DNA sequence: CGCATTTGACCTGCGC
DNA sequence: GCGCAGGTCAAATGCG
């Protein structure tokens, strides 16, 4: 793969169907060499992962700072309704498992928001996340002409999880789903799961952040490193495939 | 017939 | 206390 070209498509052939008979015919010395190479690749990947985690941490810290600034500005704005302010408090504490001190009666746990891109022809406010939901209400809110739908998890009668789904004001093709609570049962089905775009709070920050950095060079560097590590070593891809198929421990370390 | 959805009424919290 | 807005309930309705 030529990462220096303008082609932004990125595919990795993991060689997921290696012939184990071929592997068995490889001399022992070569296997040792491959093992050493794999360890080196593993080190590289570990280093990359560490770097990514550090970048994520710094971005997360930056995000929290920006959100705090953003909320302080909005608190001073008299244009917002009282309920909207309450929602901002709620979003501020999303995923932090902190209840608002102003609302001790209402304990919100594990609140998360996801955005899901839909096709323009798809007018249904349905987010396929693998769980079974029963719609129990719909309301048109003041700040959004699109109706907000209220769902309860219907897979288990005792499951307390609720979901609100509403189309985004900025982009009607984007469904914003807010989940409250935690499922007390396993995921019934992994099939037909709609891939969420990203946490809504992160979206705003990332849009600004990505304007400030050289995304092209960053992406090219990352892609080049990952592609090089993964594709130049057939043994690595064979080992990955073996691990996936459950044969990883057949390797004699 | 049973279940899910719809929708108007009602409840609740909050600011003035 | 009143009004507003979001959230929930439950009877009516639709559908397979």
Q: What would the DSSP string read from start to end of A145-191?
A: SSEEEEEEE-SSTT---EEEEEE-SS-TTEEEEEEES--SS--S--T
Asked if A16 and A234 count as a contact pair (C-beta separation under 8 A), the reply is no
Q: Show which positions of strand C are touched by protein (CB under 7 A).
A: 3-10
Is A57 within 7 A of strand C by CB distance? no
Q: Stated in angstroms, how far is A197 CA from B2 C1'?
A: 37
User: How much is the pLDDT for A184?
Assistant: 74
List of E strands, chain A? 112-117, 133-140, 147-153, 162-167, 174-180
Parts of chain A with a pLDDT under 70: 1-26, 49-50, 52-110, 118-128, 157, 186-253
pLDDT score at A130: 72
Strand C contacted by A164 CB (< 7 A): yes
The CA–C1' separation of A83 and C1, in angstroms, is 19
pLDDT attached to residue A15? 45
> How much is the pLDDT for A3?
40
CA–C1' span, A136 to B9, in Å?
14
What is the structure's pLDDT at A60? 60
Predicted structure pTM score: 0.49
Q: What pLDDT shows up at residue A73?
A: 44
Work out the angle at residue A103's Cα, subtended by the Cα atoms of residues A97 and A106, and round it to the nearest 5 degrees.
65
Task: Return the pLDDT at A235.
Answer: 44
pLDDT score at A150: 92
Which residues have CB atoms below 7 Å from chain B, the nucleic strand? A 82-83, 85-86, 102-103, 105-106, 133-139, 149, 154
């Amino acid at each position: 793969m030529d990462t220096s070209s303008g082609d932004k498509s990125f595919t990795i052939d993991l060689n997921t169907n290696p012939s184990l008979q071929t592997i068995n015919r490889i001399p022992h010395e070569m296997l040792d060499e491959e093992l050493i190479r794999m360890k080196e690749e593993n080190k590289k990947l570990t280093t990359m992962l560490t770097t990514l985690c550090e970048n994520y941490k710094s971005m997360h810290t930056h995000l929290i700072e920006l959100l705090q600034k953003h909320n302080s500005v909005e608190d001073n704005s008299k244009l917002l309704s009282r309920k909207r302010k309450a929602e901002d408090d709620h979003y501020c504490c999303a995923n932090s498992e902190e209840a608002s001190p102003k609302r001790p009666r209402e304990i919100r746990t594990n609140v998360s928001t996801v955005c899901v891109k839909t096709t323009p022809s798809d007018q249904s406010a349905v987010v396929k996340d693998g769980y079974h939901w029963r719609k129990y209400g719909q309301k048109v809110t003041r700040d959004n002409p699109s109706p907000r739908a209220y769902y309860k998890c219907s897979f288990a009668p005792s499951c307390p999880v609720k979901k609100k789904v509403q189309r985004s004001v900025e982009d009607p093709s984007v469904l914003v789903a807010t989940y409250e609570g935690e499922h007390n049962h396993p995921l019934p089905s992994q099939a037909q799961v709609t891939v969420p775009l990203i946490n809504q709070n992160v979206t705003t920050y990332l849009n600004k952040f990505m304007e400030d950095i050289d995304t092209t060079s960053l992406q090219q560097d990352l892609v080049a490193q990952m592609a090089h590590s993964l594709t130049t070593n057939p043994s690595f891809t064979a080992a990955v495939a073996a691990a996936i198929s459950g044969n990883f421990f057949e390797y004699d370390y």
